[in-house]
Structure 1
């Protein structure tokens, strides 16, 4: 089985000598977003100005955020201590892939809104990797310490192996007697955005619409993957 691993160009794209330029790009993009520019137009403008490679642009786009949205997201973010007895709804692919990336020594970015994000994209296809089960174990162990009432995982049905991954999560949950349930659905993003339960996701569009969320990916990586490659471009 393969690893989630490091992209072959990331050591070059995110080397120390690249970070000041990328941090400046994050500031400029955030400024433009705060003044109503679309992400696509603003990222093209900033990326062209700094002659950024495609993956560098992707990273800058995931890190940047307008000040108003940062404040709004952080106001809705709740701590692990408040999860006891609560119902949680998890964006399955979003959470697991970030932890897989951290475990596989891939680049994880400390974003302006406090989220940890990676550069992986599912695009209709997913395969479990060596880090998949360890990632689920780390997530489950941390949640078990928080004693939630129920943890419901959502996976995008159109993505290949979504049912297989949901089965892995359910099987591991049953083995540990964790309060896990899983579901594959065509409406993952909508269900998360509309939910009144505590949502676990780092998808910006979901965070802007959901009522409450928990920054679980950051908590898992910080507590359980101390050697993760964290790139901080907040300046």
Structure 2
């Protein structure tokens, strides 16, 4: 490697991080080797000139004759889409739906009888031999029947929003719509809410579907006659400030009245307010006063090609998930 021009940029424990001064995009390519001085000749044939952004993550591992392990990683700085995973066609395809529906039926049966959600999910997942992603989907779909009924009773029809303010659980609503636009799996819950299984893991990245999702939210709420949309974003999540700026710019260009607040815990703000909120977070829905199923309305009316997975034979929350109630 050193003969080829690579040099040790830094050392972390037994790992040495090498860079090359002339290879394409050297700042985006990092080669890490576990601390051994010998470089097997076989590894010198690895194509370091590959385009770093040609795929999200590229990892190649080889062992030399002494059993030493080498790791080469090219890390992309950008995430193009939200939600879709390579094996989702297999994990949530037609052949898997009967088993998943049986599993969610078992999970709801346990939740209705007071079992803890985590323990019940593990029990059902082990019984049906589900993957971690399938178990995550089950946990987001299922809830006790009493909780689902209470959430429906608090749900408002969009007609009740005319002339009123709407508070949005920002990341919750936005990531669901981004996943729907990107062709990712969107789950229909027992309470009629649409939920994604993407997750942002304390770091948000703008994707190709971010701007279209913002426009759909703005256009839909404007059609409903909402006077102001107030976004609540998690302050500890990276890039929240950039998303706030993007929301302001998009709203200003379209003439929508939107404000954005960065707080440490949007959940507490949303379940304590008297305002109408938009979210699919079960914890917030169990404590809030009134809410509207914004994400499901947008998916049903504006994203006809969304990959909506319904694991309930009765269609989850009923037609369009809408139960009218006067505030």
Shorter-normalised TM range: over 0.9
Q: If each structure's strand is expressed as a fraction of its own residues, which one has the higher value?
A: 2
TM-score where L is the length of structure 1: 0.98
Mapping for residues 110-121 of structure 1, pairs under 5 Å? 110-121=188-199
Where structure 2 has 5 or more consecutive residues not aligned to the other structure, the ranges are: 1-77, 314-327
Q: CA deviation at 1:5?
A: 5.0
Q: Deviations over 1:117-160 (max 9, x none)?
A: 11011221110000000000011000000111221000001101
- Matched pairs, number: 235
Equivalence for 1:150? 228
5+ residue gaps, structure 1: none
1:100 correspondence with 2:153: no
1:11 to 89, 92, 96: 89
Corresponding residue of 1:172: 250
> Which of 1 and 2 has greater Rg?
2
What is the alpha-carbon distance in structure 2 between the residues aligned to residue 5 and residue 46 of structure 1?
A: 24
Answering whether residue 322 of structure 2 is matched by residue 226 of structure 1, we say no
Contact 2:84 2:198 (C-alpha < 8 Å) held by counterparts: no
**Higher relative helix content:** 1
Structure 1 stretch displaced more, 167-176 or 88-97:
167-176
Aligned to 2:25: none
Match of 1:83 in 2: 161
* Higher RCO, Cα 8 Å, sep 6+: 1
- Please list, as runs of the form range in 1=range in 2, the aligned pairs for 1:24-103 lying within 5 A after superposition: 24-103=102-181
Relative to the length of structure 2, the TM-score reads 0.71
Aligned: 1:207 with 2:295: no
Structure 1 equivalent of residue 41 of structure 2: none
Within the candidate set 184, 199, 203, 2:262 is matched to 184
> Any runs of at least 4 consecutive aligned residues in structure 1 with deviations exceeding 4 A, and if so which?
none
